[in-house]
Structure formats: structure tokens, C-alpha cells
Structure 1
Amino acid sequence: MSSRDVILNRVRRALSGTPAVEESVDRTYLVEHGSRSTEETVDLLAENLADYRAIVHRADADGLAQLLRRLLSERGARSVLVPPGLDASWLETAGDLARVADRAELTPQELDAVDSVVTGCAVAIAETGTIVLDGSPDQGRRRITLVPDHHICVVRVPGQVVSSVPQALRRLDPGRPLTWISGPSATSDIELDRVEGVHGPRTLEVVLLSEGGSARLA
């Protein structure tokens, strides 16, 4: 039975008042496209993130705090929004940069005044160059990554990286507030003129944090 037939049958039953019948769903589709090593999967993620105009960096645990300090300094940030569960050591060398806590009382105007936000992530999808946030303590409320103009997202590799969307869905709880991010916020008008920062950060920087061994800084 085709997808079209399934949809039409559901419409007919709804119109006739016939009780719904559970239908089997064909899940024989490919879970991922091709076969890749762990390193190749991480490289594909970096490539697709960059293709979506995200700025990609690599770091190990020893160099992460220094890298974040540099990125915030180059941005000219004077304040950074910090989710409650973010690892404090990530910003321990950020100097006198003002930390703004993720509070329910924050107004849109106060969020807009924040220069940058640093978060972790739930999962990153290599084939689509997508980062998914689920509101966990190291990611904070959804709005903190939608209002400030500069978002730095730290992705632990390879542990938080999957090849495909089906693999990502297996890890995610649909009951959580999921935010799917593919590059900085952007839209185009009828003339295909691209405008960034319309309904989210104008600049997205992604740090691929190596969970073991050394990694190059970029």
C-alpha cells in the first residue's frame, strides 16, 4: 500500500465515522546512507555545518576554555548567557565577561541585549549538518538560543554525533522541547536575497569537542 493510499483511507474513515484501525508502517528504509568510519562521520558533520554557513572549530578538553574565550573576545562580547547545567570549566578563563543566568523572568528585551550564548547539544546529525537541542540543563530554555545574535554550541564527538535523522530520533525524547538547527537563522525573499538573523542567531559557531585524545584547533 502506497503512502497516498494510506492517507486517503484515513480520510475516508474519518468522513464515514468508522473507528480508526492501526496500520503497519513500512520501516525498511535506509537508516543511513553509505558506510563511514567514526572519523569520516565527524568530518561529514563539519562539512555540512560549514555548508550551512556555521563556523566550525575543533578542540580537546584542555583547549576548550581557551578557544571559547577567544571566540567571545573576537566577537566583542561583553555578556554571555549561560544555561544552568553548562560545565563551569568551559568559561573559567573568560575573564570579567558578564554571565547572564537562564531565568524564566528574562524578558525578550533582556535576552536581545545579551551578546552571546554558549550551550551544549543533545545530538548532531552528520548527513544533514543539523544540531538538535532538547532543553537539557546544559542547553537551557529554547528561547535563549533564538533571541541572542551569537550562539556557540559545543558538540561532544564522537559521542553526540550520529549519521542520520532516524538515528537521531532514536536518541531523542519527543516529549521534550526539541530545537533543530541547521546553520544560522536565515530566510530569502521572492528575489532569493538571503537575510540572516530573522528568527534566531545571525552567527552560529559550532565547537566539535574531542572526547578522547588530541584534536586540532581550527
Structure 2
Amino acid sequence: MVGATVTSRDVVLGRLRAALGPAPAAPAEVARDYRPAGGGVDLDVLVRRLTDYRATVHRCADAEVARVVDTILGGRRVVVPPGLPRHWLPGTVAALTDDDLPRQQLAAVDGVVTAAAVAVVETGTVILDAGADQGRRVITLLPDVHVCVLRTDQVVAGVPDALARLAPGRPLTWISGPSATSDIELDRVEGVHGPRHLHVVLVPR
């Protein structure tokens, strides 16, 4: 442009562009063979990693899930997704099914009980995909206690294995322990942007 002022920034960026040359064409398909999926699943490693993240792990049979939930949340109010298996809930909890409940009501309950979509041994991560037995993301963020029931056949070795099982269009929540953050002095604070307490109930399948 005639009369335009050329700044030092323009000069530097111009030299960089000239040195780099034209941008390469984007590949038609992104290679996904950077790391092979598969591998053995070691449940003990998953338990150790979850524990390292300050989650509490309970290993029991499917028929004993209600007893575990009673130990954690007995006598308290919980919210549950519409598709949660009801035999996981003891009679000692006041269960409220989420049918688009307002956030104020969700924040007032004591805990939430959900299933899971998949878990990763390598990272100690449990992933939810908003399925009928997991519900909306918000119900696992506002209550103070999250009890997540995980089947052993949902556990995979690495992240590529997990991604192969997940639909990319679904809202995914990746959970590695209770919600936690640290300030500049590294003081750990839990419960700032999610539950302070995470209980993973691992059942064989």
C-alpha cells in the first residue's frame, strides 16, 4: 500500500516468511500409526495410579456395588443419570434422577453415582462420554462426591486404545483423580472445579 508505514515487526516477519518458503500442503489424511494400540491391561497399575491421584478405589462384585455406595453415601442425597442400573443404589440414599435439573439443585446434593465409558491404565484416567448411565457433564462437576462404577472390560492399556473406543462427536470428560489445583506457592486445593472426593468402584466383567 502506498504511503503505508513499515514497522520492524513487518520486516522481521517478512524475513521469516522468505526463509521458510511456501507453506506445505496439509495432508489429506493424518497418520495414526505413531504409536500402536493394544497391549496388556494391568488392573493393579490402574489402581495404583488412581490412588496416587488421591482417588479411592473399591474392588467388588457387581452385586456388592450398592453396599459400597451405602458406605460412601448412605443416608445422603445423590443425583443419578437416567440410565444408571438401579441395583447399584442402596435404599439408604435419596436418589434424584437428572432430567435437566437446574444447577442450583445439583449443587445442593451430596454426591453423584455414574458409570464410565473407558479407563486408561497408562494415565490412571477415567473417561465419561455422557452415555445414558453417565449423564450430563454438569452432574459430575457440581456434587462434592463422585462415585464412578467401572467395569474391568472398560479398562484399556493406553490413550490410543481409549480413543479407538470413543466417538469423537460425544462430550468427553477425562477424570484423573478428584478436582485439584495449586496456587503459585503450590498449595493444593481440592474441589475448586469439580468433586473433592472421587471413588472408583471396579467390578469384574
For 1:136, what is the secondary structure of its paired residue? coil
1:32 and 1:45 map into 2 onto residues whose CA distance is: 17
Aligned partner letter, 1:47: R
Change in Cα spacing, 1:23 to 1:172, as seen in structure 2 (3 Å) is: same
CA RMSD of aligned residues (A): 2.3
Which residue in 1 is equivalent to 2:85? 87
Q: Is the 8 A contact 2:114 2:149 kept in 1?
A: yes
Change in Cα spacing, 1:51 to 1:32, as seen in structure 2 (3 Å) is: farther
Of all paired residues, the percent bearing the same amino acid is 54
2:114 and 2:54 map into 1 onto residues whose CA distance is: 18
- Alignment pair present for 1:99 and 2:95: yes
Aligned partner letter, 1:109: Q
**Which string of whole-angstrom CA distances, capped at 9 and with x for unpartnered residues, describes residues 38-78 of structure 1?**
4xx111111111111101110102222212111213xxx52
Q: What TM-score do the two structures reach when normalised by structure 1? A: 0.79
Deviation at 1:115, TM superposition (A): 0.3
User: Counterparts of 1:180-199 in structure 2 under 5 Å?
Assistant: 180-199=174-193
Aligned partner letter, 2:34: Y
Deviation at 1:28, TM superposition (A): 3.9
- Alignment pair present for 1:161 and 2:161: no
Which residue in 1 is equivalent to 2:34? 29
Deviation at 1:107, TM superposition (A): 2.1
2:173 and 2:69 map into 1 onto residues whose CA distance is: 23
Identify the match of residue 76 of structure 2 among 64, 75, 78. Answer: 78
Aligned partner letter, 1:123: V
User: Counterparts of 1:60-209 in structure 2 under 5 Å?
Assistant: 60-73=61-74, 78-91=76-89, 93-95=90-92, 97-104=93-100, 106-157=101-152, 159-209=153-203
- Residue correspondences, number: 187
Q: What TM-score do the two structures reach when normalised by structure 2? A: 0.84
For 1:187, what is the secondary structure of its paired residue? strand
- Alignment pair present for 1:50 and 2:40: no
Unmatched segments (≥5 aa) in structure 2: 1-16
Aligned partner letter, 1:83: P
For 2:70, what is the secondary structure of its paired residue? helix
| Structure with larger Rg | 2
Deviation at 1:26, TM superposition (A): 4.5
1:72 and 1:56 map into 2 onto residues whose CA distance is: 15
Unmatched segments (≥5 aa) in structure 1: 1-7, 212-218
Aligned partner letter, 1:169: L
Which residue in 1 is equivalent to 2:13? none
1:193 and 1:83 map into 2 onto residues whose CA distance is: 34
Aligned partner letter, 1:160: Q
Q: Is the 8 A contact 1:31 1:164 kept in 2?
A: no
